[in-house]
A and B are shown apart, each in its own frame.
Chain A
Amino acid sequence: GESVGLHLPTLSVQEGDNSIINCAYSNSASDYFIWYKQESGKGPQFIIDIRSNMDKRQGQRVTVLLNKTVKHLSLQIAATQPGDSAVYFCAEMGGGSYIPTFGRGTSLIVHP
């Protein structure tokens, strides 16, 4: 809710800039990854997903990159807008489990 972003890593950008949000995952057996956006006081919203047989996937204004060697996932948002301000978090799934593990998230603040 209103305090979801409390004490989270924060990324501040200017409107129009590109944003890169990073996520390090822990389980080398994870093979499915999801990015969510959570606005203040609302439930998480699905943005984009990627499976481990890919290293890049593009959506509308968003790109997810997966580096399995270093267990790193990133979300790139092009031409960031004030409406993109939210908490973004990644989820990983795999190793025989169908229950995702969620990261803490990064708070993105977009200045007009």
Chain B
Amino acid sequence: EPEVTQTPSHQVTQMGQEVILRCVPISNHLYFYWYRQILGQKVEFLVSFYNNEISEKSEIFDDQFSVERPDGSNFTLKIRSTKLEDSAMYFCASRWGEKLFFGSGTQLSVL
């Protein structure tokens, strides 16, 4: 069964450093998402991407965040200058019709 893959599974970084989280969505899906889940809290929407551009973004998705689909398969989330409060599990998802498929997540720890 096709799946969404995310790398790395864990990322540890120093505050102020840039990180890039990578995702390979399911190949024929058109809508892609990044979500985050801070430990003990609910899953929060960050951004949705369609037709090679951002279609919606939340208040969390400020200028420190950016997304790209550089080569038609990878879908990346970049955090330019990480803060302690960026520590969370980041999930990528892709959508076919109304059905959502999640990656297994990247646990980001900012020290």
A and B pair up: no
Binding site for B on A (CB under 8 A): none
